[in-house]
Structure 1
Amino acid sequence: MTEDTRAIRVDQYLAHPPAKVWRAITEPELMARWLMPNDFRLEVGHRFTFTTEPRKAVGFDGIVSCEVLEFETEKLLRISWTDGTDADWTVTWRLEPEGRGTRLFLDHEGFDPDDPRQQLSRKIMGSGWRTSHFRAIERVAAEL
């Protein structure tokens, strides 16, 4: 099987019902605890930013400009994600009830397979999504 160089795809079981996971990924103050400070609002068309430490190796200035593209309460959230480089990505979270918990799927798509800087970004962000961010989402949901 070949690696998808255009996307990051992650799915993980979280031992919390969709309502709690949804809150963790859509309430701005909770989102800031596992991802980045933000001015997110759950409204299609709302433009918002995430802010964090710059990463000079990939030309990232620490600001992610986003827009809410689509949502379905407790099921789906899709946002655009642009980081000040030439990147134009889409991040989608899907929630599916599974037993007493939730299967959370993440698709971070739109990486240019021929751009070494975007591929480095994919590698860095892929590691973060798979490890620290999903664990942090679970910790936040556990506190609700």
Structure 2
Amino acid sequence: MNATAPELRTVVIERDFPHPPEKLWRALTQPHLIEAWLMKSDFMPVAGHHFHFRAEWGAVDCMVTEVAPQRTLAYTWSAYGLESVVTWTLEPSASGTLLRMEQSGFRPDQEQAYQGAKFGWQKFFGALEQVLATEAA
């Protein structure tokens, strides 16, 4: 029997947005904006805050683990047996802000969740782009 832990996988998406970090931070932390591109939530950017994302397919239990305004946001993401962590990193770039989303913690037997996250986050990033384009600065 192999005693080493199974290899966990991570979904990473990076995109350069033509907006300042402050604007992306608002879209990541204000519930009415989060709802516009991701899901309904009772999110608050406070370390230790427990919250939920809600969609037609169910809910995700979360807890904020890190908040560094306009730089880093991290929270746990627990749903349907998946125990993962989503980390957002904002970095000023020549054109605006490089946004990196990393969801880590997919076990080898969670292929469907892993593939779903790869697809889902691409879709969410597209919706985020629309929200940023229409939302006043």
State if a TM-score over 0.5 links the two structures.
Answer: yes
Question: Letter of the aligned partner of 1:98 in structure 2?
Answer: S
SS in 1 for 2:41: coil
Per the TM alignment, residue 29 of structure 1 is displaced from its structure 2 partner at its CA by 0.7
Instruction: Choose from 68, 71, 77 the match for 1:72.
Output: 68
- In structure 2, what is the equivalent of residue 46 of structure 1? 49
Instruction: Choose from 105, 108, 111 the match for 2:103.
Output: 108
Unaligned stretches of 5+ in structure 1? 55-61
Point out 4+ residue stretches in structure 1 off by more than 6 angstroms.
none
Question: Letter of the aligned partner of 1:111 in structure 2?
Answer: F
Q: Percent identity?
A: 39
Taking the aligned partners of 2:29 and 2:72, their CA distance within structure 1 comes to 10
- In structure 2, what is the equivalent of residue 19 of structure 1? 22
Count of aligned pairs between the two proteins? 129
- In structure 2, what is the equivalent of residue 36 of structure 1? 39
SS in 2 for 1:104: strand
Per the TM alignment, residue 138 of structure 1 is displaced from its structure 2 partner at its CA by 1.8
Unaligned stretches of 5+ in structure 2? 1-6
Taking the aligned partners of 1:5 and 1:124, their CA distance within structure 2 comes to 16
1:27-47 CA distances to partner (integer Å, 9 max, x unpaired)? Answer: 111001100001001110000
What CA RMSD, in Å, does the superposition of the two structures yield over aligned residues? 1.3
Matched, 1:95 2:86: no
Asked if 2 retains the 8 angstrom alpha-carbon contact of 1:18 and 1:101, the reply is yes
Instruction: Choose from 98, 111, 120 the match for 1:119.
Output: 111
Structure with the largest fraction of strand: 2
SS in 2 for 1:135: helix
Asked if 1 retains the 8 angstrom alpha-carbon contact of 2:9 and 2:104, the reply is yes
Report the TM-score, using the length of structure 1 for normalisation.
0.85
